[in-house]
A and B are shown apart, each in its own frame.
Chain A
Amino acid sequence: MTTSMLWRAGRRLLLIAGLPAVLITAWWLATANSTNFYWPPLRTIVEVFGPTWLEGKLTSDVLPSLARLGVGYLAALALGIGIGVAIGSSTTLRATVEPVLEFFRAIPPPVLVPILILFAGIGDGMKVLVIVSGAIWPILLNTVEGVRSIDEVLRDTAACYRFRTRTRLTTLILRGASPQIMTGARQALSIAIILMVISEMFAASNGLGFTIIQFQRSFALPQMWSGIILLGLIGVALSLLFRLVETRVLAWYFGQRDTQQSGA
């Protein structure tokens, strides 16, 4: 029994890590003897990774970027869910606001950067605003959809048992809409990461995006590549973290879905 479990764990590990291992090996071998200036050997990139990022730049660039990402993402969550619940709960509000929302959602957030610089300057505030302005839409629209699709019978139940407003909000509305909210939050996370980098490329004095651009301009190509790899790693780590939260928050939802699929 334990051997079969080991087998299965091994199989899973192979499935997860297999393709990345192949790709890294291919990259390593293909660039091993590269003299192309723009495609330095992976070995060189790995060698500069530690000295570039882990000494000094971790606190001067990586952490400020992550802080702006965190603040922007959380603000987008709070605003998106708050406004989404309000719009989703009212039919009239929804009818008036929805076309306008679709319009704003259709605007690519990077084009807002120059405008936001006008209003919010070039400080941290502007970068957080850029992140919020892009990440809020999937959260907001999915929340509206989630609130709207809460079962009528559940609403009636909450009304019959005279749930207090607070309980209605937490136990009925937010939990009921949580599957859609999580879908929106997942889309918003990748948008937020992209915007974190982009906002730092326009006007900034520190940050991951800023540093990568600096390396590119000073032709420090191995360092630039190592920055791109770092961004990728941050993305993977955050999406793993997200999945961890999701499996906890939506345990009931996945459980229900699985029983419905296996039964009847």
Chain B
Amino acid sequence: MTQSPRKTPKDSDIMSIVSTLTRSTPEPAMSTDDTGQHTPMLDVRGLRKVYASGKRSVEAVRDLTFGVDPGELVCLVGPSGCGKTTLLRCISGLLETTSGEVVLEGKRVSGPPEGMAVVFQEYGRSLFPWLTVWQNVELPLKEKGISRAERKRLTTESLAAVGLADFHTAHPWQLSGGMQQRVAIARAVAYEPHVLLMDEPFAAVDAQTRGELEDLVRALWERLGVTVLFVTHDIDEAVYLGQRVVILSSSPTVVLEDVTIDLPAERDQLTTRSLPRFTELRAHVYERVQQAKQGNRPSTPTATS
């Protein structure tokens, strides 16, 4: 896992606080089982989702199969409306699949599983307006049965990590959009999930904040060894953040391509984005997404109908 002490070359405050965050829960499941066989942290097998309301039915997701290894950071890209949110809701057990299954840490998902946190696309609406920032972050920890002292430590550290140490007593509606998003991230991080799902978390923040939040996610991921599935429609963001990028077709959705991002692990907004390899990868992903928008299906049939 990424537990080896790593020096943080970035000198911003946030990054140095992140490095003080420590993981107290056991590491996620091993990546190999007794037979030495490869078992992913998260396994999506033949997932299909049809929304049926009355006579009309929408096939949002046709056939999705992919896996995420423990400690991996995988980005999902696909055109708007291709079923990314639908997929995440199925993975997080909020929505029943029509067919196929989701397996998390060896267990089939049939309701919101333990050890998973989600940052929703509509992050502003995911915060409880009647609770303070502190209470919003602390409440899930209470529900998890974490002791008072430990809750205090986790809440303080995660709020500091997202740069909101001075806003404990504020209410969400007193904060800007970017700050609300950071509260949602702090809440997810404090929860110490094994798997973190993020649904277009930065779609509504300005470019500057976006870059900062991207680095924050990378830093938290490296520090905590958490498995991250990051959904976005921004190709740059996907290539910059991910170890892998899974490209989805337009609805009804299948996996178009699974691209390994062979960029150096050390990412930096300026240097990484100006690497020739970054440009190449981005162009490649861009091309595939464009094809997806024009309704291209994969040449190798992954879907049967």
Point out residues on A near B: beta carbons under 8 Å: 151, 153-154, 156-157, 159-164, 167, 171-172, 175-176, 178, 252-253, 255-256, 259-260
A154–B139 Cα gap in the complex (Å)? 13
A176–B126 Cα gap in the complex (Å)? 12
A154–B118 Cα gap in the complex (Å)? 12
Q: Is B143 positioned at the interface, with any CB of A under 8 Å from its CB? A: yes
List 19 A-B residue pairs with CB atoms under 8 Å apart, sorted by A's residue number: A156-B89, A156-B94, A156-B120, A157-B126, A157-B128, A160-B112, A161-B139, A161-B140, A162-B144, A163-B139, A167-B139, A171-B131, A176-B130, A178-B130, A252-B130, A252-B171, A253-B129, A255-B174, A259-B173
In contact, B92 and A161 (Cβ under 8 angstroms) = no
In contact, A255 and B173 (Cβ under 8 angstroms) = yes
Point out residues on B near A: beta carbons under 8 Å: 89, 92-94, 111-112, 114, 116-118, 120, 122, 125-126, 128-131, 139-140, 142-144, 171, 173-174, 191
Q: A256-B173, A259-B173 are in contact. Are A164 and B122 (CB under 8 A)?
A: no
In contact, B118 and A160 (Cβ under 8 angstroms) = yes
Q: A162-B112, A256-B171 are in contact. Are A151 and B139 (CB under 8 A)?
A: no
In contact, A161 and B120 (Cβ under 8 angstroms) = no
Residues of A within 8 Å of B174, CB to CB, are 255, 259
Q: A162-B112, A162-B143, A259-B173 are in contact. Are A154 and B130 (CB under 8 A)?
A: no
- Chain B, residue nearest A161 (CB): B140
In contact, A160 and B116 (Cβ under 8 angstroms) = yes
A15–B94 Cα gap in the complex (Å)? 53
A178–B128 Cα gap in the complex (Å)? 13
Residues of B within 8 Å of A167, CB to CB, are 139, 142-143
- B131 nearest CB across to chain A (Å): 7
A260–B173 Cα gap in the complex (Å)? 8
Residues of B within 8 Å of A161, CB to CB, are 112, 117, 139-140, 143-144, 191
In contact, A171 and B139 (Cβ under 8 angstroms) = yes
Residues of A within 8 Å of B120, CB to CB, are 153, 156-157
- Chain B, residue nearest A249 (CB): B130
Q: A153-B122, A156-B94, A159-B112 are in contact. Are A164 and B173 (CB under 8 A)?
A: no
In contact, B143 and A154 (Cβ under 8 angstroms) = no
- Chain A, residue nearest B111 (CB): A159
